[in-house]
Amino acid sequence: MKSIFRSTRMFLPALVATICLPASAHAVIISTSIGDYEVSTVLTDFASYEAVFESQVWWEDVSLAEEFAALTNTAFGTPNFGIYTPFFWYTSTDMTGPCAGIGEPYAGVFWDNRAGRVSPVCAASAPNGPFTFAIAEAVYASVPEPSVLALFALGVAGIGFARTKRHASVSTHA
């Protein structure tokens, strides 16, 4: 019995520390002008993930890409060359934006911590990578599963049954 108590005594602080201490973030949830999104990052080259980048809500919408970059700010650190936050890539054919004038078709934005604002990033070498890019998924309000609701209902019914049974046994002994 003492050995069980001793092992529990050592396990409990480790469990509490695991639950209470902060962990590094792999995703952040942000509220944007178009809803809530869970933003995470991926280290890859553009060509390998092109379909995913093109499915992003900010694809072909520079102002939305800028909003996402500003809201995530430095939540993911500066994984690109140690000075750039993740890239929010929004086009592979920049014909009129900041990258068109310098002949680089790939365009994105990032949070520039040194300047305290969103800045453009242009790269003809984007397909070669690897770079850290941001990706996002919409966050929807969670709806309890039917099994959870059934279990809850069963618990409430059990409590009601136990009270009725206890009340019945008290009145028969009186």
List the domain boundaries for the chain.
27-138, 144-174
The whole-number pLDDT of residue 167 equals 62
Confidence of residue 20 (pLDDT cuts 50, 70, 90): very low
Residue 91, pLDDT > 80, answer yes
- The larger pLDDT score, comparing residue 67 to residue 125, is at 67
Confidence of residue 69 (pLDDT cuts 50, 70, 90): very high
Confidence of residue 64 (pLDDT cuts 50, 70, 90): very high
| Range among 12-26, 62-76, 84-98 with highest mean pLDDT value | 62-76
- The larger pLDDT score, comparing residue 146 to residue 86, is at 86
Q: How far apart are alpha carbons 85 and 171 in whole angstroms? A: 71
| Cα four-point dihedral sign 40, 43, 45, 47 | negative
CA angle 123, 127, 131 (to 5 degrees): 75
The pTM of this model reads: 0.65
Q: Which of 6-10, 108-112, 126-130 has the lowest mean pLDDT?
A: 6-10
Q: Which of 68, 70, 74 is nearest to 34 (CA)?
A: 68
Query: What DSSP string runs through the chain?
Result: -HHHHHHHHHHHHHHHHHHHS----SEEEEEETTEEEEEEEEEE-HHHHHHHHHTSTTTT-HHHHHHHHHHHTTTT---BTTTB--BEEEES--SSSTTGGGT---EEEEEETTTTEEEEEE-TTTTT--EEEEEEEE-------HHHHHHHHHHHHHHHHHHHHHHHHHHHH-
Confidence of residue 19 (pLDDT cuts 50, 70, 90): very low
The whole-number pLDDT of residue 101 equals 74
Confidence of residue 174 (pLDDT cuts 50, 70, 90): low
Query: Within a 13 Å sphere around the CA of 69, how many CA atoms are in the beta-carbon half?
Result: 28
The whole-number pLDDT of residue 56 equals 96
Contact of 88 with 40, CB cutoff 8 Å: no
